[in-house]
Amino acid sequence: MAETSILINGTWRPARPVGSFRAFDPSTGVPLPELFPVSSREDVLEALEAGRKAALELAARPPETIAGFLELFARRIVERAEEIVAVAHCETAFPIEPRLRLNELPRTADQIRQSAEAARDRSWRRATIASKLNIRSMYGPLGGPVVVFGPNNFPLAFNAVGGGDAAAAIAAGNPVIAKGHPGHPSTTRLFAEIAAGCLAETDMPKATLQLVYHLNPEDGLSLVAHPWTGATAFTGSRAAGLKLKEAADRAGKPIYLEMSSVNPVFILPAAMRERGEQIAADLFASCSLGAGQFCTKPGLVIFVNDDAGRRFVEAARGLFEQPPSGYLVGPGLIGGLKAAIAKMKLQKAFVLVGGTETDGPGFGFANTLLAVHAWDFLRSPDVFQQEAFGTATVLVFAPDVEEMTAVAEALGGNLAGSIYSHGQGEDDGLYRTIEPLLLRGVGRVLNDKMPTGLAVVPAMVHGGPFPATGHPGFTAVGIPAAMLRFAALRCYDNVRPDRLPEELRDKNPTGRMWRLIDGEWTSRDVFS
Amino acid sequence: MAETSILINGTWRPARPVGSFRAFDPSTGVPLPELFPVSSREDVLEALEAGRKAALELAARPPETIAGFLELFARRIVERAEEIVAVAHCETAFPIEPRLRLNELPRTADQIRQSAEAARDRSWRRATIASKLNIRSMYGPLGGPVVVFGPNNFPLAFNAVGGGDAAAAIAAGNPVIAKGHPGHPSTTRLFAEIAAGCLAETDMPKATLQLVYHLNPEDGLSLVAHPWTGATAFTGSRAAGLKLKEAADRAGKPIYLEMSSVNPVFILPAAMRERGEQIAADLFASCSLGAGQFCTKPGLVIFVNDDAGRRFVEAARGLFEQPPSGYLVGPGLIGGLKAAIAKMKLQKAFVLVGGTETDGPGFGFANTLLAVHAWDFLRSPDVFQQEAFGTATVLVFAPDVEEMTAVAEALGGNLAGSIYSHGQGEDDGLYRTIEPLLLRGVGRVLNDKMPTGLAVVPAMVHGGPFPATGHPGFTAVGIPAAMLRFAALRCYDNVRPDRLPEELRDKNPTGRMWRLIDGEWTSRDVFS
């Protein structure tokens, strides 16, 4: 059987493969028929060469052309929604409804539309003008292709081709070299087919979006470190992320990683007394969403082990004892969960519910509730802050609020952290102690809400300090902020008026673009 | 003789030294009397511990307190200008006038005042509010101290204590651990004495600014990689910068480096015919400024070697044959220049003027003009893009405009790049070819102007792709943009109104702060 072609410089052509692979149906554990190539270094170099040329071409395209492409791409995705959803369902076993059809696909199209709108609007460039000195600066494309590594857990919204990273990179004027996740290659191929059609229709460089399905690790490392690469976006495991980070860092290439988070949830004592059972229901719902395969899954729950705390544990136990709601997307995740649980047990964690894989068929794992005493957590905080995908979470029993605070002190970098507190203010003193400690280590702090469920709005931050990501100043979700990952800041000093990019000329190019002129955010022209 | 004390947690105390050193008077080459300690790991750990606490305290201080401190610091620097200038002159041999008294000191105070204004104004936080969903985000301090490594070439404006990095870090709400440059320790001590006094007077955490004078390399590496460190700013050599970068990167700690640039200047043919001699005068003035010890010194000049080009070379030769205008700030720089020249000669560069150190006393080096044919440059582009401080530049002779373009293609990352073109448009076609290639690799593109002389305005970019810096999305000069290096992006999701930081509440805290509310930059309140 022939391997599926890759998309290089606008052409579908056979890979020069160094291997091949098939995806699995997670609900049966059986490999799917389509055979995909593991690309070689030659494939990568060809993509880089085409991407480097496309970067220069794309930098000269009007934003309206880029926006037009993205809008068409979003429209075609919606038109072909049923096909995309069906293929993604085969490859991930995520429910068609509500997950794929009603949540993830609309979000995917919406992100692309928002990116298009941002490209058209141009305010994302944060044009800054010192009018008297004729010094003008703005964000612009990087000058080389952006490499996007898609993760296993969002076949659509974080797809290497159809997901938010690719859309943000292109909206900022960069071509993309997508490295699809091997868990859902047919879904990725389908996105790339749609994208390639849209590129051809909209006067875009044909190498704006290229696709390889898989790479050997060493070829991935050389790709992110290549002199022609503009930057890399990676969403995936910490182990793989750290290796890519090392290679990119050494080469001085920006890399944005979203590589693990346990998203601690603090339940303060009066809130626990007030509504512990409701919070247990929130926890289980959040934790079991997508069978626990969310970057923002609450993986650590800290509370005082008093009477109310014990009632909370009983309520949670009851909920977690249900059979699992879905499958893990790949066979590796079962091993990951088992290893994490074994390590935590060595550090005195105990299993309250689950802890083992389910009987076949498919990649199933029992809902798992672990617990550890705060003093044991504090002895090995790193072991309890290893992300493991699956409906599994660790309850941290604190004897008192001082130990809760000590746990907050010991936390590493996370994407999000929640604090549940009493509705009438009874926890407010403790909130003021814990919040600054939590805030130091997270990209997003929540009140009375679990961390799953990201609204794709400009104020969202899906980021946070290392090791949740590689840099605390960026976000992977939220347009236009997410585009700034794929942008270079450039100044035009004494450049003649007719040579300035439109965005920096005296006349506002759209009449609506926001610019910071002499200290004032305005959509007016520069008055000379 | 006792070593000068270091400033740790608000107290001047003797270091626990692992060595000692003295600075030189560059005009005589003789060591100065004051003896300074090389700090030990214990000193560093004590500073980190105090800095970590100060980071939490500072995050809770009103911006007005931080601004008040910075304003007082700027005022005191101006009041003690004569003393500062005299000490800096001893340690660097930079002329008191105009350099130190009229340029660098006023710039230093101005940067600190601008940072104070930005802290007070709060718009730097780029508060972004999705009012209906109650999702709000903004930049805030990092949660740990910022380490600042000062360079040798700006004893005041880039001083580890008094310079732009420290001011930007503090204005963004972070404490600073300054590692002074060993070339001007007395100047740095004086700034720290002034700062410590101002901290005590303004209700600021006493560990807001701490100072060590020198570290062994391994202690510097462990400092930038320490879990408690928030971020690092380094200005200095590429060799030292790359080592620090590796250590910080491995630990997942942000590091901002400004570590070398040759700042290419393209002189297009019609401009050369029009005003070659004037451009030669511009070049010499820019190149000899501060005895060639500017990060933005033009180190590479590319032009067509036609009749006009040859007249330009003769004019430049005449100017460079003057005796040097000043001293190099340290003895190591002479060796650096000699090594760079020797390497370039091996790759077929030829010396037109200078190339050797001057007879003593002091650290002098003859003005040096090198030349290389474009085809030889293209064979070893890396060798000709090694920064070397001193009044030295390399002329690249291109046989035609195609070779000029090939040189533009071969350039690495630089802080700045200039293009001189004909006043009446005769070079415009070639400009359109070269500018996009140059732009890809620089943080700032100039027209008809040499790259030295940075205006400290919000639109300035002193940045650029690796290896000029470590990340193309940031700038080290220009307030408030430079503050974003020392900021984490954080989101407040569903956080109760009275718990939000003032900047994200419905009411605009100053009535003037710019915020992005539901897609509009405004200084209005949020309408609920």
* CA separation for the pair A515, A518 (Å, rounded): 9
Residues A188 and A181: beta-carbon distance below 8 Å:
yes
Q: Are residues A120 and A204 in the same domain?
A: yes
Active site (annotated) includes residue A295: yes
Give the count of Cβ contacts less than 8 A between chain A and B: 209
Supply the range of the domain harboring residue B420: 264-447
pLDDT, averaged across chain A: 97
Instruction: Count CB atoms within 10 A of the CB of residue B452.
Output: 20
Is there a single domain that holds both residue B239 and residue B305? no
Residue A270 belongs to a domain: yes
Instruction: Report the alpha-carbon distance of residue A15 to residue B165 in Å, rounded.
Output: 49
- Mark whether B271 and B183 lie in a shared domain: no
- Are A322 and A356 within 8 A, CB to CB? no
**For the domain that residue B276 is a member of, what is the CATH number?**
3.40.309.10
B237-254 pLDDT per residue, tens: 999 999 999 999 999 999
**Total Cβ atoms within 10 A of residue B297:** 29
Averaged over A451-480, what is the pLDDT?
96
Render pLDDT for B185-233 as a digit per residue (tens, 0 to 9): 999 999 999 999 999 999 999 999 999 999 999 999 999 999 999 999 9
Is the residue at A501 inside a domain? no
Q: pLDDT at position A360, please?
A: 82
pLDDT digits (tens, 9 = 90+) for A471-491: 999 999 999 999 999 999 999
Stronger pLDDT, A340 or B325, i.e. the higher one: A340
Task: Encode pLDDT of B437-468 as tens digits.
Answer: 999 999 999 999 999 988 999 999 999 999 99
Q: Does residue B460 lie within any of the structural domains?
A: no
Identify whether residues A236 and A269 lie together within a single domain. Answer: no
Q: Would you tell me the crossing angle of helices B185-201 and B81-92 to the nearest 10 degrees?
A: 150
Report d(CA B454, CA A505) in Å as an integer.
Answer: 21
Q: Quick check: B3 contacting A, CB < 8 Å?
A: no
Whether the predicted pLDDT of B1 surpasses 80: no
State which residue of chain A sits closest to B422, comparing Cα positions.
A496
Give the rounded percent of residues in chain A with a pLDDT score beyond 90.
Answer: 98
Cα A476 to Cα A157: distance, rounded to the nearest angstrom? 12
Residue type, A242: L
Q: Could you report the per-residue pLDDT of A4-59, keeping only the tens digit for each?
A: 999 999 999 999 999 999 999 999 999 999 999 999 999 999 999 999 999 999 99
User: Is A142 contained in some domain?
Assistant: yes
Number of domains comprising chain A: 2
- Closest C-alpha among B315, B305, B319 to residue B276: B315
**What is the amino acid identity at position B230?**
G
- Give the distance from residue A404's alpha carbon to the nearest chain B alpha carbon, in angstroms: 18
Looking at the structure, tell me whether residues B237 and B272 fall in a common domain.
no
Same domain, A237 and A316: no
Q: Which residues pair with A178 in a beta bridge?
A: A148, A211
- Find chain B residues with C-beta within 8 A of A133's C-beta: 455, 457, 459
- Looking up residue A175, the CATH number of its domain turns out to be 3.40.605.10
Whether residue A272 is predicted with pLDDT greater than 70 in this model: the reply is: yes
Q: Chain B residues with CB inside 8 Å of A114's CB?
A: none
- Considering only the beta carbons, identify the residue of A136, A488, A495 that sits closest to B472: A488
From chain A, the residues in CB contact with B443 under 8 A are 488-491
Q: Do both A251 and A271 map to the same domain?
A: no
Predicted local confidence at residue B360, as pLDDT: 82
Asked if residue A288 and residue A179 are part of one domain, the reply reads no
B426 at A interface, C-beta within 8 A: no
Residue A1, pLDDT score: 67
Query: Is residue A401 located within the same domain as residue A420?
Result: yes
- The per-residue pLDDT for range A147-166, each reduced to its tens digit, is 999 999 999 999 999 999 99
The Cα diameter of chain B in Å comes to 75
Q: How far is CA B476 from CA A48, A77, A176, B230, in A?
A: 31, 42, 29, 17
Q: Are residues B182 and B286 in the same domain?
A: no
Please say if the pLDDT value at position B106 is more than 90: yes
User: Does the residue A456 lie in any domain?
Assistant: no
Q: What is the pLDDT of residues B12-38, one digit of tens each?
A: 999 999 999 999 999 999 999 999 999
Place of tokens 């997003």: A444
Average pLDDT over residues A461-468: 97
Amino acid at A170: I
pLDDT tier, A528 (very low <50, low <70, confident <90, very high otherwise): low
Nearest-CA neighbor of B38 among B61, B8, B6? Answer: B6
Residue A527: band (very low, low, confident or very high) from pLDDT cuts 50, 70, 90: confident
Write out the two tokens for A206: 């044909």
- Chain B interface disruption, residue of A475, A493, A494, most B CBs within 10 A: A493
B251–A466: do the CB atoms touch at under 8 Å? yes
Looking at the domain assignment, is residue B320 inside a domain?
yes
Using the Cβ of B120 and the Cβ atoms of chain A, whether some distance falls under 8 Å is answered with no
Nearest to A414 by CA among A278, A302, A325: A302
3-state secondary structure of A209: strand
Query: Identity (one letter) of the amino acid at A101?
Result: R
Average pLDDT over residues A253-269: 97
pLDDT computed for residue B295 by the predictor? 95
Mean pLDDT computed over A288-317: 97
Nearest chain B CA: its distance from A511 CA (Å): 14
Checking if the pLDDT of A509 tops 60, the result is: yes
CA-atom Rg of chain A in angstroms? 24
SS (H, E, C) A95-140: CHHHHHHHHHHHHHHHHHHHHHHHHHHCHHHCCEEECCCCEEEEEE
A212 touches chain B (CB under 8 A): no
Q: Which of residues 144-163 of B touch A (CB under 8 A)?
A: 144
- Of A457, A488, A496, nearest to B135 by CB-CB distance is A457
- Residue A464 within a domain: no
> Is B416 in Cβ contact with A458 (below 8 Å)?
no
- For residue A288, give the H/E element and its range: helix A269-288
pTM: 0.97
Given a contact cutoff of 8 angstroms between Cβ atoms, the answer to whether B166 and B160 are in contact is yes
| Section B308-331 average pLDDT | 96
**Which of A125, A163, A168, A169 has the alpha carbon at shortest distance from A146?**
A169
pLDDT over 70 at B528, yes or no = no
* Contact between A299 and A388 (Cβ < 8 Å): yes
For residue B522, list its beta bridge partners.
B515
Say yes or no: A232 and A341 in one domain: no
A10 lies in some domain: yes
- Catalytic positions of B, please? 258, 295
Residues B223 and B292 in one domain: no
Q: What single letter denotes the amino acid at residue A493?
A: D
Residue B416 contacts residue B445 (beta carbons within 8 Å): yes
Q: Report pLDDT digits (tens) over A409-441.
A: 999 999 999 999 999 999 999 999 999 999 999
Smallest Cβ–Cβ distance between A444 and the set B246, B442, B493 belongs to B493
Mean pLDDT confidence for B523-527: 94
Q: Where are the alpha helices (DSSP H) in B400-471?
A: 401-409, 428-440
